Amino acid sequence: MAEAVLISNLTQEWVESLRRWHLEYFFIPTTVITLASFLANPVLLACIFLSRALRQETRYLLVANTLTADMLFLVLNLATVICNAAQAQMPWLVCELLTAVSVSAYCCAILTVTLMVVDTYAAVRWPLHYHDILPPARTHRILAGVWVLSAVYPFTLLIMMKVGRENPHEKMAVCLVLISLGFIQVNMTGIHIYFFVTALICTVLILYCYVRLYMVTRTQGIWQSRFSRARVTLLVHGVLLLLYFTPGFVFILELALFQREDISQDVRVWINTINMCVFMVLPRAFAPYLYGLRYRELSDTLMQLLHQHRRLSQITV
């Protein structure tokens, strides 16, 4: 009962801080960035799934999985931001379910982006055996495992909170992942370990693959030109990885600040709002456009589909 009162007071203070600084207007850039992503994501997914050749390629299956996870995250994030901005109270159980699915989708995207780097390394390191190592059927099983792995811990926490909650139908003034996870005192260490260790393992794996890729290909002359395809690809993927990982590290910082009483509530609200409304959605807006520029087969398929659509339109007219 005491925890429920504490959460209620905190959410009310959070709403007052949002109103005082007019941070509810951050839903505008969130909406714009989300719409920009939704203009491109379905198009790229259609290109991948309508092309039999692309559906057989591991890298494009990884791209499709990333885009799918991003779209799910964007929908849930935008719904949460709009509800918070409109001060619409949400049942506790619905909020926790949104939190679990959002965390699962975010983690799935991070893991899949990491696998994309590993896939590139495998293709360069073992070109003759690459298709035997990662056939489409095995890739499908790996992606299913990624979704399960991403969802296990968030939904385990959801069940733990559901069991320990006295009134699951109680409504909350704001629905935030930070508040939901910040009050799981019995497993706070596990939450820090889950986010930090996952981010650390992915970062180390990505750095290892890139270093090994450079060592394997440095004698082939693909790095000599300042604007070589290898350098541009590395730059694009590096920027994208930075955009994907930065919000996760900021969220780890948020969890740490949430436990400290000497930190102003306004500071917590500002950091959380910027991270939730800008940092977390930016990579998902850039990703489809960068993927479309990076993969020639994908851009070629897109141009073919547009050309076919134009021809059908001319025939119809």
What pLDDT was estimated at residue 311? 62
pLDDT the model gives residue 108: 95
pLDDT band at 273 (very low <50, low <70, confident <90, very high): very high
Q: Which residues have C-beta within 8 Å of that of residue 166, sequence separation ≥ 6?
A: 1, 4
Average pLDDT along the chain: 84
Taking only the tens place, the pLDDT of each residue in 238-255 is 888 888 999 988 988 888
Model's pTM, two decimal places? Answer: 0.90
Q: Let me know if domain 2-312 sits in CATH 3.40.50.970.
A: no
Give 85-120 pLDDT, tens digit per residue. Answer: 888 888 888 888 999 999 999 999 999 999 999 998
Q: What is the mean pLDDT of residues 71-80?
A: 95
- Higher per-residue confidence, 21 vs 314: 21
CB crowding 144-156: b at 16 or more within 10 Å, else e: eebbeebbebbbe
What's the whole-number mean pLDDT along residues 267-285?
93
Q: What residues does each domain of the chain span?
A: 2-312
Catalogue the E-assigned strands of the chain.
90-91, 171-172
How many angstroms separate the CA atoms of 52 and 71, rounded? 23
Q: Kindly state the percentage of the chain with pLDDT values over 70.
A: 86
Query: How do strand 90-91 and strand 171-172 relate by DSSP bridges?
Result: antiparallel
What percentage of the chain's residues is helix, strand, coil (to nearest 5)? 85, 0, 15
Confidence check: pLDDT of 53 > 70? yes
Q: What is the pLDDT of residue 226?
A: 63
> pLDDT tens, 172-229?
888 888 777 766 555 566 777 777 788 888 989 999 998 888 887 777 766 666 666 6
pLDDT tens digits, residue range 134-158?
888 999 999 999 999 999 988 988 8
DSSP state of 90: E
